[in-house]
Structure 1
Amino acid sequence: MASLYDRWLLPKLLTCACSSPPMMKQRAKIVPKAEGRVLELGIGMGLNLAYYDPAKVTEVKGVDPSPELRARAEAATHDPALKVSVVDGTAEALPFPDRSFDCVVCTFTLCSVHTPPAALAEARRVLKPGGRFLFCEHGLAPDPGVANWQRRIEPVWKRLAGGCHLTRPVSSSIAAGGFRLERVDRMYLPKTPRFAGWNEWGVATPA
């Protein structure tokens, strides 16, 4: 059973953190690339919904295990022409058949799933042949000094931020999960603490 912190305070904190201008700018770089029938892993508060192009996207299915966050996603602003539905579920056990989506979108989600390899395997399973995996994630910084701080902070950070990890590699984990990286961009987000600001985003296809 979720604690009062998880039910009431955490969604508000996540909304504030995940809707910061630097993070929203990153979402705007990757989400408009989505096409066809789209699955969004960890749809959370629905912050990506405003960036989907209804001229290119036929439907967005969002999955999230948190009822509080799903409620926020269902109320999130988006183009009225965009067909959106949000369902209960985890990235590691998606409630969808094989080869059922043209695109999987994953933004600031792999940091908090319980088992990233299982989540990536599920994303591969539900993608149609030729489908694309669009990602934008924060994770392990390449600079040793920053990475050391990430390791020090992570135990407390995970408890406060809903299981968010600071030290998970991003693009290398996606490649190890059976994807071919078509494009990857990397940088520290501006106006963001460096321990939480290393960001990698791009496009991958099932290998």
Structure 2
Amino acid sequence: MKFYNKHILPNLVHFACSLKPAMQLREKVVPLARGQVLEVGIGTGLNLPYYDAAKVTHLWALDPSPEMVRKAELKARKVTFPVEFLDLPCEDIPLETASVDAVLVTYTLCTIVDVQQALREIGRVLKPEGELIFCEHGLAPDVRIRRWQNRLAPAWRCLGGGCHLNRDIPRLIEEGGFRIQEMQSAYISGWGPASYNTWGVATWLQRPQVSVAEISQPERGG
């Protein structure tokens, strides 16, 4: 698996995550980031072209995969704001408490081993008025698709670099101490088990909150 993880997986992830439907969602959520930004799981840097350079003063780009980071570094040369790469897992973010205005996670929470520890770390580094901006695939509401997600999950974790097809992303975010302020979800074109996507904005409350079904989900204006 070492050869696969080093030489094949980075290209496979880049291909899957750069398909048009996913890129259209990136185009929606990435420009919401502002100020001092931390991107958790920058991967090959697919989000970099979508940042609003007029709003971002600094970007910390965190990812434990040197193979993917090398690809992201090439894209970082084309942006006008400073990008600082952190070659570390997100369960231990090397930034000061309350130092970040926004944290961006796109198609990353599905792969993190200890997702609750990672969310606690994200909450720790966010300023009191900071936002977690997320865009993820996850557990589908449709019973038929969910059944396939559960069947394929063990094998896909091995082939997809630890990617979980059946994580309930909104529930995990809330259990991690966040309140979801705005959220949208939809099936996008592509492979069925990974086609249910959720995106939105959450704020850190440091304690578990009510279920996502009880939270209003308004459209983001502007």
- TM-score of the superposed pair, with normalisation by structure 2: 0.90
**What's 2:164 paired with?**
165
Distance in 2 between residues matched to 1:119 and 1:3, nearest whole Å: 25
Residue 15 (structure 1) aligned with residue 14 (structure 2): yes
Q: Distance in 2 between matches of 1:134 and 1:80?
A: 20
Alignment partner, residue 144 of structure 2: 145
| Alpha-carbon distance between aligned partners in 1 of 2:109 and 2:78, rounded to the nearest angstrom | 26
Contact 1:73 1:86 in 2 (8 A): no
1:203 paired to 2:201: yes
Distance 1:163 1:78, change over 3 A: same
SS in 2 for 1:76: helix
Q: Distance in 2 between matches of 1:58 and 1:181?
A: 25
2: distance between equivalents of 1:166 and 1:6? Answer: 19
Q: Is the 8 A contact 2:48 2:79 kept in 1?
A: no
In 2, the alpha carbon distance for the partners of 1:23 and 1:177 equals: 25
Give the Å deviation of 1:177.
0.9
User: Per-residue deviation at 1:80?
Assistant: 3.2
What is the Cα deviation at residue 86 of structure 1? 1.1
- Name the CA distance, whole Å, in 1 between partners of 2:2 and 2:192: 30
CA contact (8 A) 1:105 1:134 kept: yes
Cα RMSD of the aligned pairs, angstroms, is 1.1
Write out per-residue CA displacement over residues 122-173 of structure 1, whole angstroms, 9 at most, x where no aligned residue: 1000001100000000011111111110011111111111010001001121
Taking the aligned partners of 1:26 and 1:203, their CA distance within structure 2 comes to 13
- What's the counterpart of residue 51 of structure 2? 52
**Structure 2, unaligned stretches of length 5 or more?**
206-222
Write the mapping of 1:33-182 to structure 2, written as runs, cut at 5 A: 33-76=32-75, 79-182=78-181
CA distance, structure 2, for counterparts of residue 79 and residue 127 of structure 1 = 27
Give the ranges of 4+ consecutive aligned residues of structure 1 lying more than 2 Å apart after TM superposition. Answer: 77-80
- Structure 1 runs not aligned, ≥5 long: none
- Distance in 1, Cα, partners of 2:177 & 2:2: 36
1:103 partner SS: strand
Tell me the amino acid that sits aligned with residue 203 of structure 1.
V
Whether the 8 Å contact between 1:54 and 1:79 is mirrored in structure 2 is no
Q: Structure 2: how far apart are the matches of 1:199 and 1:114?
A: 20
Amino acid aligned to 1:184: M
How many positions carry a matched residue from both structures? 205
Q: Following the alignment from structure 2 to structure 1, what is the Cα–Cα distance between the partners of residues 191 and 79?
A: 36
Contact 2:49 2:79 (C-alpha < 8 Å) held by counterparts: no
Task: Give, as a single letter, the amino acid of the residue that structure 2 aligns with 1:182.
Answer: Q
* Secondary structure of the corresponding residue to residue 75 of structure 2: coil
How far off is 1:79 after superposition?
Answer: 4.8
In 2, the alpha carbon distance for the partners of 1:123 and 1:50 equals 23
